[in-house]
Amino acid sequence: MAKKSPRKHSSHSVVLIPGDGIGPEVIGAAREVIDAAGVKIDWVPGAAGESALKPHGSLLPKETLDAIVKYKVALKGPCTTPIGGGHKSINVSLRQGLNLYAAVRPVRSIEGIKTRYDNVEMVIVRENTEGLYSGIEHEVVPGVVEALKIVTERACTRISEYAFEYARGHARKRVTVFHKANIMKMADGLFLKCARAVSQKYPDIAFNEMIIDNGCMQIIKDPSRFDVLLLDNLYGDIISDLCAGLVGGLGVVPGANIGEAGAVFESVHGSAPDIAGKGIANPLAAIMSGVMMLNFLGESEAAQRIKAAYNDVLASDNPKVRTKDLGGEGGTREFTRAVIKRVQKG
């Protein structure tokens, strides 16, 4: 599996994919903040999404995939997949095409963002390449559609190992696997079997099992009891958004898709075309994803300065620099400038 670079390099090449809608605005903000932190990055342009269809003839051009393969790391904005017309999800195509098998989404309470919870500190680790998202479905007879859930021992073991390695590497104490093996005894049963087998290799990490529907209820009742969550593709997609709702929504949660050959870091919210170009989009998730990217690149000092900066901006509770979705009256530029100012203070 891809791991954080053990050495700090003087410069890096990163594929920059602005995406659609508010994507160019929030990714542009993330780039500004990273540049302000003094990290030397050669930003390699990449196209994806609806905006790439006309000039490149594809939602996910081969040139973009080739660039990510070459440079190993990308920072990506939200992309729009046109509804209808047989277009496959860009995100699914990207993850499967590059074998980015581990989706990692840290979810934490942030001072200054008021929600019903103030004790959330968990990481969702989601298998990213198979399950029901394999996209294998067909009409058996008119009016009857069959979708296949693909589950392999290799993928289940690989994502389980990633979850436990992540827990150990980030001083996490517990991994909880969510499943529905009581009903899908073979498919989810295999996922659970692999998680159990891998857990035996990590006696220093506590291991729990939870049926997915009960797990959803337990998360809402007391999210503080959870640390690292291990899930298959569909469950991980749903739980990721549920957990984001505990801390303020998708606008305050970063994401990463990591594989053996590289990684793509992305804000996981939508492209929000209704507010594109209005200067009111919240760039926090994109900036936070950039912080995850910097840690992956070994630029931990810069990552920590940026994290401390946006934490400080949010904790200050200044409505003039907070975006409207966070209860403020500022916009993308105001928030970005406030973060940059604190980053440069050191």
Element at 173 (helix H, strand E): none
Q: Say whether 204 is catalytic.
A: no
Instruction: Report the C-alpha gap between 161 and 196 in whole angstroms.
Output: 11
Q: Say whether 133 is catalytic.
A: yes
Residue 294 in contact with residue 36, Cβ under 8 Å? no
Write down the catalytic residue from 20, 188, 232, 237.
237
Write down the catalytic residue from 40, 213, 320, 345.
213
Question: CA dihedral defined by 316, 298, 45, 344, rounded to 10 degrees?
Answer: 30
Instruction: Report the C-alpha gap between 110 and 125 in whole angstroms.
Output: 20
Instruction: Report the C-alpha gap between 178 and 188 in whole angstroms.
Output: 9
Q: Which two tokens stand for residue 33?
A: 């903040």
Q: Which two tokens stand for residue 328?
A: 């403020």
The 3-state secondary structure of 183-216, one letter per residue: CCCCHHHHHHHHHHHHHCCCCCCEEEEEEHHHHH
Residue 77 in contact with residue 20, Cβ under 8 Å? yes
Write down the catalytic residue from 133, 162, 235, 310.
133
Q: Which two tokens stand for residue 344?
A: 């440069």
Residue 71 in contact with residue 14, Cβ under 8 Å? yes
Instruction: Report the C-alpha gap between 10 and 51 in whole angstroms.
Output: 33
Q: What angle do CA 342, 44, 266 make, to 5 degrees?
A: 60
Tell me the H-state helices in the chain.
Answer: 23-36, 50-56, 62-71, 90-97, 153-169, 187-199, 212-221, 233-247, 284-297, 300-315, 332-345
> Identity (one letter) of the amino acid at 276?
A
Q: What is the CA radius of gyration of the chain?
A: 20
Q: Say whether 180 is catalytic.
A: yes
Write down the catalytic residue from 20, 101, 180, 232.
180
> Identity (one letter) of the amino acid at 180?
K
Q: Say whether 278 is catalytic.
A: no
> Identity (one letter) of the amino acid at 16?
L
Active-site amino acid positions: 133, 180, 213, 237
